[in-house]
Amino acid sequence: MLKFNKYDFRTDVENYVLESGVREWKKLKHNPFVLFTDKGVIIKYSLKEVLESDLPKDTQFMVTWAGQWSSSIVVGTILDLALAVKMNPKKDYQII
């Protein structure tokens, strides 16, 4: 398991899910999810791909949250993403 320094990365996964637009894109071409597994690194190009994967829920991820003037790196687990989606039902224009 990787240990992320909380001062180097953002851990507010729920805000990322709500505000980044990740629920509205079919494919994240420029900011894919990087998943860290026991067997190596896996790249997923959509939130739906991550949530529907058969990876353990405690699998850690890293993703870039692109902003207008700067970008942030968000880190968490697949469970964090699943809970953020579950706690915030999708709107009509969102994919997931």
Q: Residue 56: inside a domain, yes or no? A: yes
Q: Which residue has the higher pLDDT, 2 or 50?
A: 50
Q: Which residue has the higher pLDDT, 6 or 61?
A: 61
Q: Residue 71: inside a domain, yes or no? A: yes
What Å distances lie between residue 8 and 1, 33, 41, 68, CA to CA?
17, 17, 20, 19
* Full residue range of the structural domain in which residue 51 is found: 13-87
Q: Residue 93: inside a domain, yes or no? A: no
Model pTM score: 0.85
What residues have CB less than 8 Å from 44, skipping those under 6 apart? 32, 33, 35, 50, 53
> pLDDT by residue (tens digit) across 17-69?
988 888 887 777 778 999 999 999 999 999 999 999 999 999 999 999 887 78
4 has pLDDT over 90: no
DSSP state of 62: E
